[in-house]
Amino acid sequence: MAKPEKHIFVCAHARPEDHPKGSCAARGAQPIRDVFADTFEERGLWGRLKLTQTSCLGVCEQGPVVLVYPEGVMYAKVQPSDVATIIDQHLLGGEPVESLKIDKELWD
């Protein structure tokens, strides 16, 4: 396998519904992962980009979160409708989506 240009991690960690921190899974991580995967397939991006579903990335209250490497950019409260913007602007265009980036106090 060739090294991908970007590696996208979608947190899908699940906790019990009554847990005080909540979880990315409870906040809708699976549809986000699915939209990334479907879009990669439709646009022939597999190989150029890699997608991994992860466990906890440590900022549960900001979920669902998406982490992009090699830049180390983390996006917070991502919705399925945000995925196209992340793909077009950041993954393909090289410019992180400032409006979706997690607060600097949490990830810098």
Q: What is the span of the domain harbouring residue 85?
A: 6-100
Q: What pLDDT, in 10s, does the model give residues 29-54?
A: 999 999 999 999 999 999 999 999 99
Question: Based on the structure, what is the number of domains in the chain?
Answer: 1
Give the predicted TM-score (pTM) of the model. 0.94
**Cβ proximity of 4 and 45 under 8 Å:** no
CB hemisphere CA count around 63 (13 angstroms): 29
Determine the Cα–Cα distance for residues 86 and 79; give it in Å rounded to an integer: 11
13 in a structural domain: yes
pLDDT of residue 17: 86
CATH classification of the domain holding 85:
3.40.30.10
**Cβ proximity of 50 and 7 under 8 Å:** yes
